[in-house]
Amino acid sequence: MVKGVGLGYRREMVSMNKEILSANIDYVEVAPENWMRMNSLYQKPLKELTENIPLSTHGLSLSLGSPDPLDIEFVKNVKSFLDAYNVESYSEHLSYCSSNGHVYDLMPIPFTYDAARYVAKRIQQVQDILERKIAIENVSYYLSPSNELNEIEFTQIVLEEAKCDLLLDVNNVYVNSINHNYDAKSFIQAMPSTAILCGHIAGHYDEDDDLKIDTHGSAVKPEVWSLLEYAYQCHGVFPTLLERDFNIPELSEMLGETGQISAIQNKFSKRPSSV
């Protein structure tokens, strides 16, 4: 459906609709749960925007790794939202955020065979209800509850067993590579090209030389731009979205960064891809 460059869209940005439409943005992305029960004050601008630009969705609360049963009612509500806005693409985090109640944070799933198979089954269940293939995103994490597998092996097993796609978040790879002392390029290289549906890029906070925090609250760092270029080199160009969740700047500043995504993409031949 979509190639090129995307921009994360938040409620704070509804006044930017006109500017977004006149910019070189190929798609926008929202968290469906933040818009499903919104009054017309927000639904109207989203509808107006998405009549003119494709929408992809990136969920926050599906809690794929949770020990709690999957929230079927929630998944059905997501399906209604996707159908109403004619959305093909829905991605979620390879993490969990609930256990007897929501914690509103993305917790790491233990890297074990059992957990990989458990999550893969839940992804299949979601895909069946949505009648769509979904994409899972590699998340940033600050503690690894089990190291029976490494992150690469865990992610590969989930992708294979669930037959789902991957949303490759390049900033998360960078942040994890510093915090957990692994080689970011090796991680990128090990991801299966055919599973990569799209990507994310974002800014992070340098707490220390060996501690980076995935904040989405500042400009993308040079090391992450280089890694995005490396990812295209390995896998070909895939649609890539700029995430910015805090300290939202003027649109012109974000467009500078989406322009940089475009410039890097233009260095490589585009492969046929969709969001």
CB closer to Fe ion out of 35 and 45: 35
CA dist 181 and 163 (Å) reads: 29
| Contacting residue, 29, 92, 169, 214, with Fe ion by CB under 5 A | 169
Nearest distance, CB of residue 45 and Fe ion, angstroms: 23
Name the one range near Fe ion by CB under 5 A: 105-113, 165-173, 205-213, 252-260: 165-173
CB closer to Fe ion out of 71 and 245: 245
For every residue of the chain, which 3-state class applies, written as one string?
CCCCEEEECCHHHHHHHHHHHHCCCCEEEECHHHCCCCCHHHHHHHHHHHCCCCEEEECCCCCCCCCCCCCHHHHHHHHHHHHHCCCCCEEEECCEEECCCEEEEEECCCCCHHHHHHHHHHHHHHHHHHCCCCEEECCCCCCCCCCCCCHHHHHHHHHHHHCCEEEEEHHHHHHHHHHCCCCHHHHHHHCCHHHEEEEEEECCEEEECCEEECCCCCCCCHHHHHHHHHHHHHHCECCEEEECCCCCCCHHHHHHHHHHHHHHHHCCCECCCCC
Nearest distance, CB of residue 82 and Fe ion, angstroms: 19
Name the one range near Fe ion by CB under 5 A: 49-57, 153-161, 185-193, 195-203: 195-203
x-marked contacts with Fe ion along 120-159 as a string, rule CB under 5 A: ----------------------------------------
Nearest distance, CB of residue 56 and Fe ion, angstroms: 12
- Largest interatomic CA distance in the chain: 50
**Restricting to residues 4-33, which ones interact with Fe ion according to CB under 5 A?**
none
| Contacting residue, 10, 200, 212, 244, with Fe ion by CB under 5 A | 200
Nearest distance, CB of residue 200 and Fe ion, angstroms: 3
CB closer to Fe ion out of 27 and 45: 27
- Total interface residues for Fe ion by CB under 5 A: 2
Nearest distance, CB of residue 248 and Fe ion, angstroms: 16
Residue, CB closest to Fe ion: 200
CB closer to Fe ion out of 151 and 169: 169
x-marked contacts with Fe ion along 34-63 as a string, rule CB under 5 A: ------------------------------
Binding residues (CB under 5 A) for Fe ion: these are: 169, 200
